[in-house]
């Protein structure tokens, strides 16, 4: 089954404690991206990757890092999380001629 | 900025057709119209897309006006499980910018018994 898998689904952490949210897709898609969703602000792109070792900033990249060492994986790294990064996060993947597939989301709370 | 305009909310009776409009007056010739929906706080789910011809799949129909400046998503027999936020998005296929989807606020569709 074609899918994008994120882990964890829920996470509560403290300010400053580094964390990683993993994302994996099984469709051999070139393009992967991370979005965050906040009330009243909708879905906003954080970072994206056109292919292995190619990443770039989206609309709201501050406070986040990503890496793309393998085609199937695109982890989101928060080196020093802050409360304003409390949000619902989605990973997505796509190929040039397909629709986008989204993961089920990671609800992050930073206290 | 989102390139589409949608009503904030709509209601529909169960079993009736739900017609969700979308304006995309600045759409480019190589941009497709995509529809996604988000049920509760799940990941957005693809519904349908089209370039200029009307499209139909097992989930919905998409009607695009001849000038391509607007479209309508039709759920022919809405059920309670169709209650969701529906997003109309314009996006290219291929090229270097195909990946990013710019989401607006979408339309909250409520299907009631």
Residue A98's pLDDT is 84
Residues on chain B touching A43 (C-beta within 8 angstroms): 44, 101, 103
Are residues A88 and B43, on separate chains, in Cβ contact within 8 Å?
A: no
Are residues B43 and A33, on separate chains, in Cβ contact within 8 Å?
A: no
**Measured between CA atoms, how close is B34 to chain A, in angstroms?**
8
At a CB cut-off of 8 Å and minimum separation 6, what does B10 contact? B18, B20, B107, B108, B109, B110
Q: Which chain B residue has its CA at the smallest distance from A47's CA?
A: B100
Residue B96's pLDDT is 67
Residue B99's pLDDT is 76
Task: Record the tokens describing residue A3, joined without a space.
Answer: 């899918």
State residue A85 phi and psi, 5-degree precision: -100, 5
Mean predicted confidence (pLDDT) in B86-109: 86
Nearest CA-CA partner of B7 in B15, B17, B16, B18 = B18
Residue B93's pLDDT is 75
DSSP of B25-75: TT--TTEEEEEEEE-TTSPPEEEEEESSS-EE-SS-EEEE-TTSSEEEEEE
CA angle A61, A62, A64 (to 5 degrees): 70
> What are the Cα distances from residue B48, in Å, to A1, A19, A86, B19?
19, 35, 31, 14
Residue B13's pLDDT is 97
The number of C-alpha atoms within 13 Å of B17 and in the hemisphere containing its C-beta is 10
The kind and range of the H/E element at A1 are: none
Are residues A100 and B106, on separate chains, in Cβ contact within 8 Å?
A: no
**Measured between CA atoms, how close is B58 to chain A, in angstroms?**
16
Residue A69's pLDDT is 97
Among the ranges given (A75-84, A95-104, B69-78), the one the predictor scored with the smallest mean pLDDT = A95-104
Please state, in angstroms and rounded to a whole number, the distance separating the CA atoms of residues A1 and B49: 21
Please state, in angstroms and rounded to a whole number, the distance separating the CA atoms of residues B109 and B105: 12
3-class DSSP state of A77: strand
Residue A28's pLDDT is 95
Task: Write the pLDDT tens digit of every residue in A8-25.
Answer: 999 999 999 999 999 999
Do residues A7 and A91 make contact, with C-beta atoms less than 8 angstroms apart? no
Q: How many CB atoms lie within 10 A of CB B1?
A: 4
């Amino acid at each position: 089954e074609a899918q994008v898998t994120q882990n964890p689904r829920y996470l509560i952490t403290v300010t400053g404690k580094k964390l990683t949210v993993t994302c994996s897709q099984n469709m051999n898609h070139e393009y992967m991206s991370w979005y965050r969703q906040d009330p009243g602000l909708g879905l906003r792109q954080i970072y994206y990757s056109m292919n292995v070792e190619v990443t770039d900033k989206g609309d709201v990249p501050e406070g986040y890092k990503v890496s793309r060492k393998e085609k199937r994986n695109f982890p989101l790294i928060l080196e020093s999380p802050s409360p304003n990064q409390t949000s619902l996060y989605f990973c997505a993947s796509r190929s040039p001629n397909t629709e986008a597939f989204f993961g089920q989301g990671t609800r992050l709370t930073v206290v | 900025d989102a390139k589409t305009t949608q009503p904030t909310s709509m209601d529909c009776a169960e079993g009736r057709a739900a017609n969700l409009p979308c304006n995309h007056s600045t759409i480019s010739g190589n941009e497709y119209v995509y529809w996604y929906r988000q049920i509760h706080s799940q990941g957005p789910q693809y519904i349908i897309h089209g370039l200029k011809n009307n499209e139909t799949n097992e989930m919905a129909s998409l009607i695009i006006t001849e000038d391509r400046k607007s479209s309508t998503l039709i759920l022919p027999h809405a059920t309670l499980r169709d209650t969701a936020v529906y997003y109309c998005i314009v996006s290219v296929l291929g090229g270097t910018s195909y990946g990013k989807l710019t989401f607006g606020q979408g339309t909250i569709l409520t299907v009631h018994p």
